[in-house]
Structure 1
């Protein structure tokens, strides 16, 4: 639960699938919300409706309600601390890049946060992966994704076209292949980064992950 800075409280509700199965066998748990009813949204920003309670599942639900007067933290440009009100997001800031690898590439034994390095995805000499391009805006956008040079014996290149048309509240994947050359060291983390731009040149927030040769 957090305040959005505009006098509204946002409650994020989710549950692990096994918790729902234990409770009712349907993978969902009913959660009553504090305070007055709020407007619920799914992870893509689609409105679900007015709610005083929601069903929690592995898919997060965001419930926006009016924050109590005692906890409102909205800030105006005239506030004493000199803070400015929040500016609306640009179209490029509504685009999110997410690197997706096969389950077999996941780093094992990292759940407790105390495991020793390496920490990144475990890759072979040649690994196919996808950069998912999410558009959380209300208009479709053409997006061009590029991979940054890796170095240390690693290369990354596109499998096909890198300019995609992403519908509003949609997602499109762009394929890449990551190659570990002969000089790439085993069990040594290496950064793999992707950037993207809209057709007007505005830069999309990048995506960075760690990988290593298993």
Structure 2
């Protein structure tokens, strides 16, 4: 290990920068500047905003970063233009969408806490908002006009962790806050409500 320490550190520092993306062109469209990298997708390829939004239609809760010329800074897929449509297959738009209240829906996932742009389906055959969230495996924080939800995955992770380590909901929540942004900036307030209702999930 001691003999390889310098090589390991070199690779870790290499990952903090643009890596092999020296040509600064999106690896997918080969047209627009490559400024975005996803921390949760496999590999370190860089894409333009348009391509990264298109790639994340089915994975809207990934953490992405944007190169600002000096370093990568956290940015949300919402800011890049990703819109989540419930009640329809991923990528398909609804003819009668209803925006989530104030366009500030919050989803808590095992990868972090996410602010997302979300539309509910208001077609004639549409389920109510709670059912639309549950069909996506998102557990709403409230049964009335939900503005936040937790994924089934994060609720299951919290349940197992609390059984094995006796971690409290607050401790688990604080670890998710740090996963999302470890700079000390406050997270969306409503996200803590999701864990307080986690006993309903089990």
Q: TM-score, normalised by structure 1?
A: 0.23
Larger fraction in strand: 1
Q: TM-score, normalised by structure 2?
A: 0.24
Choose 1 or 2 for highest CA Rg. 1
Larger fraction in helix: 2
Structure with bigger RCO (C-alpha 8 Å, 6+ apart): 1
